[in-house]
Structure 1
Amino acid sequence: MLFAMALSFTAKADETCMSPYIAKILGQEDYVYVWTLGVDGIGDEQDKLVTIDTNPSSESYGKVVNSLSVGGRNEAHHSGLSDDRRYLWAGGLDTNKIFVFDIHSDPREPRMHKIITDFTEASGGLVGPHTFYAFPGRMMITALSNNADGGGRTGMAEYNNEGEYITTHWIPTDSDLRGATKTGNLADGYGYDVRVKADQNIMLTSSFTGWSNYMMDFGQMVGSPDAMQRFGNTMVVWDMHARKPLKVLDVPGAPLEIRCAWGEGNNYCFTSTALTSQIWLIYPDDNGEWQAKAVSDIGVPADIPLPVDISITADNQGLWVDTFLEGKTRYFDISDPHAPKQVYEKVIGSQINMVSQSWDGKRVYFSSSLLGNWDKTGDADEQYVKLYHWNGESLEHKWTVDFYEQGLGRAHQMRFGSYAMYGKQRPSDANLLASASHTVN
């Protein structure tokens, strides 16, 4: 009953970048799960799933209550929930391992359910599992690279919820369009993110760069003309049900996260371009043909602020945009999606990457790490999760968890957890605190 109730409210998202097929937390989230990079010399040096208590009525509010290490460093990056929200899938961009965590048996203490070690072999050569996007009974996993040359040519691997490989969907290239129409100059075959407009039977993918770049030192990469040419400049429109590419769109400058408007009739999505610092709108024209156009600059593009994560509000009125090098978040009014306007900005830290919102838009979480070799160094290498309250006009800071101070590593992606999703009552603080001594690694 709880799952059915949650699914009936798909226009009201919790983390509003989630798949519309995922059961939603409509009230207060109990926990945020943080997929975290291990760092040499910090704590146990391993990647880990860190649990922070986010319930303001709890005695441990804003504190780390559990940490589950995975036995090594994998370039921990993105994660995604299964459609029933019982499992959290998380990937390593370097080792290609996929970790499936059970978050429903005890939301406070996730446990390891399964580790998939043959992603590259099973998928026919995909490298760098990135986005984990739920379909009914399935998990679509985008990749960033391949095992032939470490470049950006890649695809998506489809798995069932049991963690069994089904098939690979390669992204169109100039030499193999796979039935798609190339509408611009390029079909580079690069991949990054995936999202759907299910009511339109449309799936979208974006593009980034391959293993040879994302595992390179940031300064070395920026100083290499060859490396800077190895970034994606396209998005692909797919037939969602058939998993067939329809159109390749030119979107120059490495289009990263895709965020689609909620609710039927809101037929558009946004992306931001890392290298050219623009917001792009992906939308159907008057003839129903999907197009892409730049609709707003992000800061001063010439300064290369490096846009990273973006998050659309559940009411389709606002868009958060984080810029890594500035450590800043910006809020855009997108009431007219063809003309977004920045109305607010705030420096969150020396660097910033991910942003996640509660379904009502009142709580906004930020985390810090981009990539192991791309994060800032020295005093500028801040690693945190921060919670702010948004009143519609400004952000009010509530708490910060310093991941270095607590020996945890580098905080990357965040997902929410809740007892109510599984028909469970949250245990009393006394019971939770009694078990805390043996749950934190």
Structure 2
Amino acid sequence: MKTPTNCQSHIVKISLAAAIGALILTLGARVSRADETCSSPYLARIDGQEEFVYVWTLGVEGMGDGADKLVTVDVKPGSPTYGKVVSSSSVEGRNEAHHGGFTDDRRQLWLAGLESSRVFIFDVHSDPAKPKLTKTIDNFAETTGGAVGPHGAYALPGRVLIPCLSNAKDKGGKTALVEYGNDGNYITTHWLPTKEDARGASGAEVADGYGYDARVLPRKNALLTSSFTGWNNYTMDFGKLTADPEAMKHFGSTMVMWDFHARQPKKVFQVPGAPLEIRWAWGPNHNYAFTATALTSKLWLVYADDRGEWQAKEVAPIGEAKGGVLPVDISISADDKTLFVDCFGDGKCRVFDISDPQKPKQIYEKQIGKQVNMVSQSWDGKRLYFTSSLLARWDKQGADNEQFLRGYAWDGKELKPAFDLDFTALKLGRPHHMLFGSTKIGANRTTIASN
């Protein structure tokens, strides 16, 4: 879809924001702040330690009200309600609650439903302990030109970027990136490159048009996207899916490097096995990102070579189990020395030394549960939080279907339990994505650039 003319001025502003933002990031690196290490570089930071963990939770029929909900957990040290649920706000129905993200000023939290394509917007500024639903986008497919399966929301100056997983036409994997303003109004859609329409990108011969995550490295004008699978697959029972050879052919095997300012795809990389989460390094001279492939259990590195050209290569295996361990989420430490890798298949978190990004080495592993999905790490690297649910129809069955939020302390050598919340016993549902909240938010780091 061609970018509307009125969007060009916004992109110019973001180009300026990226340039100034890079300087702000460099200067701000000396300031002691806590936050998630996977957050957008355009996001206003928490001053001090996180006070709340927001958990976007899938509803379960017959459990509590059965609806998806945003659960708020107190994680303030010394608080009488530390490690306890302090509020819960339900939305309409079950939407396959998946990922979310803040607006750049951190006043709103946008939460997406993979199955319904609804996006729920919460006010987390007025009372961070009790987020309030203020708006629901329920015409996503119609408004965006057919994109469905919004994966989450990624903060850009004055807007959010929503990577999608599918399309309304055939509900396969071909999909798009969508932009909305912080006011909740649609801006534009950018379709992923395909063999039939590479949109000027090199590597067109492997382009599949699939999407999943989207992350920006402002100083290099780089937007990187990854790929998963479409609506037809992620709404299918996991056992049925894996027994269907045709369905298993329909998983993403690419990543795409974009010109961020122009929203122009530049190069398609072949990365077999469904590369999922993207984590850019934070160091001012560290021009690389990691991802993990779910179906092949490999760590991949996307990096700028000596000529400044972007390349992608497999750099390490994840686990040794036959058939793989289904790595899902990853978290990079703020000093770029450590990578935490959650493996849904065996419920373990594996920790890699990535001091040499070309040669990661596993240094530790911890059994988190029978299944584990998401991991969120504090900026100081001392606290990690884990949740259990992958997708409603993909979670394990019976006694293996543990549903939890678990907090751990990390001393650089070992993960030690801090608290454990059983979401089934609490009749909350299946906890998925986590985000940090606080009453103490620093200035928006791109305020100057985006005015």
TM-score range, shorter chain: over 0.9
Question: Would you say 1:103 and 2:124 are equivalent positions?
Answer: yes
Cα deviation code 1:93-146 (max 9, x no counterpart)? 011000010001001000012111111111100110003111111100000000
Equivalent position of 1:439 in the other structure? none
Partners in 1 of 2:312 and 2:366 — Cα distance? 28
- Percent identical among aligned pairs is 59
Equivalent position of 1:215 in the other structure? 235
In the TM superposition, residue 274 of structure 1 has moved relative to its aligned partner by 0.3
Partners in 2 of 1:292 and 1:422 — Cα distance? 35
Where do 5+ consecutive residues of structure 1 fail to align?
A: 424-441
Q: CA RMSD in A?
A: 1.6
Cα deviation code 1:367-419 (max 9, x no counterpart)? 00000000001111100000000000000101001000001000000001111
In the TM superposition, residue 303 of structure 1 has moved relative to its aligned partner by 2.8
Kindly report which structure 2 residues correspond to 1:23-422, keeping only aligned pairs within 5 A, or say none.
23-182=44-203, 185-300=205-320, 302-421=322-441
- What is the TM-score when the length of structure 2 is the normalising length? 0.91
Secondary structure of the 2:116 match is coil
CA contact (8 A) 1:10 1:24 kept: no
CA contact (8 A) 1:25 1:359 kept: no
Number of residue-to-residue matches in the alignment: 419
Partners in 2 of 1:382 and 1:301 — Cα distance? 21
Partners in 2 of 1:161 and 1:227 — Cα distance? 37
CA contact (8 A) 1:363 1:389 kept: yes
Q: Which amino acid aligns with 1:175?
A: E
Cα deviation code 1:281-307 (max 9, x no counterpart)? 000111111010000000026332100
Equivalent position of 2:15 in the other structure? none
Partners in 1 of 2:279 and 2:220 — Cα distance? 15
Cα deviation code 1:36-95 (max 9, x no counterpart)? 000011110000000000002211000001000002110000011111111110000011
Partners in 2 of 1:257 and 1:121 — Cα distance? 27
Measured at CA, do residues 329 and 116 of structure 1 come closer, stay the same or move farther in structure 2, by a change above 3 Å?
A: same
In the TM superposition, structure 1's runs of 4+ consecutive aligned residues that sit over 6 Å from their partners are 4-7
Measured at CA, do residues 5 and 404 of structure 1 come closer, stay the same or move farther in structure 2, by a change above 3 Å?
A: farther
Measured at CA, do residues 216 and 332 of structure 1 come closer, stay the same or move farther in structure 2, by a change above 3 Å?
A: same
CA contact (8 A) 1:280 1:294 kept: yes
Secondary structure of the 1:256 match is coil
Equivalent position of 2:14 in the other structure? none
